[in-house]
Amino acid sequence: MANILVFDSGMGGLSIYREIRRALPAHDYFYCFDNANFPYGELSEAALITACTRLVSHMVAEHAIDLVVIACSTASTIALPSLRAALTIPVVGVVPAIKPAATLTRNGCIGLLATPGTVSREYTHHLITQFAPGQRVLLKGTTELVIEAEHKLAGRPVNMALLQEVLMDWMEGEARPDTLVLGCTHFPLLNDEIRQLMPGCQLVDSGDAVARRVAHLLATVVGRPSQAVVQARAYCTRLDAEAQKLTAPLQAWGLSSLEEVRY
Ligand code: DGL
């Protein structure tokens, strides 16, 4: 049995946690979100690296973590080298699924929907040149939809007018994308709403690929047999009234308790 830490700024990492836990149910899960520094997509690169490295290192030491999943593209596209230098265990990142999208598109036009941080990163631009050469990749960075995904998870209605406003230029016209990369882990939580506005468009995320990578690392590097009795708990960096309201939705995702990290 392994202790697996899944980390994000907020609720988006649940879309990754869901895939990993479905594939690998017999392990202990720690879902940690840095809501005190949310949204990560608006943080400077230096602030993000510092916040994320300090918190993840603390969680790893405190809970004898065997493997970390940075279930946040905004953090993964910049903080993985620092995290890997600070930790001795495997660290799996989540990056925008440009590679599979490039094989799926029929009209050669891909939309990358991510955070402002992710669309501005050199890492992302490199992914595009490497895996989608000759294709049109349209970039859109939005924090508004990250916040909508948080609202949805907390049981509030999604603002469809806002969603439509953000996606408008991809919904009409000749050169609209036929494939959308959900390059922020919050966006698969809005799958149904995005599908409603962009019917026929293929939505691609990284959940499956990350779960496969974790399974491979557990079998080859961590090498711990699984067990029948498992625990899954959530941790945040600020347990205020807003965060407390997440206790019930998190329980619905199989996370039995929500605590504040003291570090
Ligand atoms: N879920 C995150 C991502 O994948 C970050 C959202 C945010 O905090 O801006 O990029």
Query: For residue range 87-121, what is the model confidence (pLDDT) as tens digits?
Result: 999 999 999 999 999 999 999 999 999 999 999 99
- Report, as an integer, the average pLDDT of 39-67: 97
Between the CA of 213 and the centroid of ligand 1 the distance, in Å, is 20
Between the CA of 223 and the centroid of ligand 1 the distance, in Å, is 30
Q: Is 40 annotated in some ligand binding site?
A: yes
Any residues with Cβ below 6 Å from ligand 1, and which? 8-10, 12, 38-41, 72-74, 115, 118, 143, 146, 184-186
What is the Rg, in whole angstroms, of the alpha carbon atoms belonging to the chain? 18
Q: Is 105 annotated in some ligand binding site?
A: no
What span, in angstroms and rounded, lies between the C-alpha atoms of 84 and 17? 20
Residue 37 has pLDDT above 60, yes or no: yes
Between the CA of 179 and the centroid of ligand 1 the distance, in Å, is 20
Q: Is 257 annotated in some ligand binding site?
A: no
Whether omega before 39 lies within 30 degrees of 0, making that bond cis, reads yes
Q: What is the pLDDT of residue 11?
A: 98
Write down the catalytic residue from 32, 52, 184, 236: 184
User: Beta strand pairing status for 67-70 and 28-33?
Assistant: unpaired
Write down the catalytic residue from 72, 109, 201, 236: 72
Q: Check: CB of residue 115 under 8 Å from CB of residue 146.
A: yes
- Report, as an integer, the average pLDDT of 167-186: 92
Q: What is the pLDDT of residue 44?
A: 96
The structure's pTM equals 0.95
Alpha helix (H) ranges present in 65-107? 73-86, 98-104
Residue 191 has pLDDT above 80, yes or no: yes
User: Beta strand pairing status for 232-236 and 179-182?
Assistant: unpaired
Q: Cα angle at 78 between 76 and 84, to 5 degrees?
A: 70
- Report, as an integer, the average pLDDT of 179-185: 98
- In terms of Cα–Cα distance, which of 222, 232, 236, 237 is closest to 256? 232
Which atom of ligand 1 is the closest one to the Cα of 74?
10
Task: Give the amino acid at 87.
Answer: L
**pLDDT tens for residues 203-240?**
999 999 999 999 999 988 776 665 656 799 999 999 99
Q: What is the pLDDT of residue 155?
A: 94
Between the CA of 129 and the centroid of ligand 1 the distance, in Å, is 23
- Report, as an integer, the average pLDDT of 44-64: 97
Catalytic: 184? yes
- In terms of Cα–Cα distance, which of 104, 110, 133, 94 is closest to 13? 94
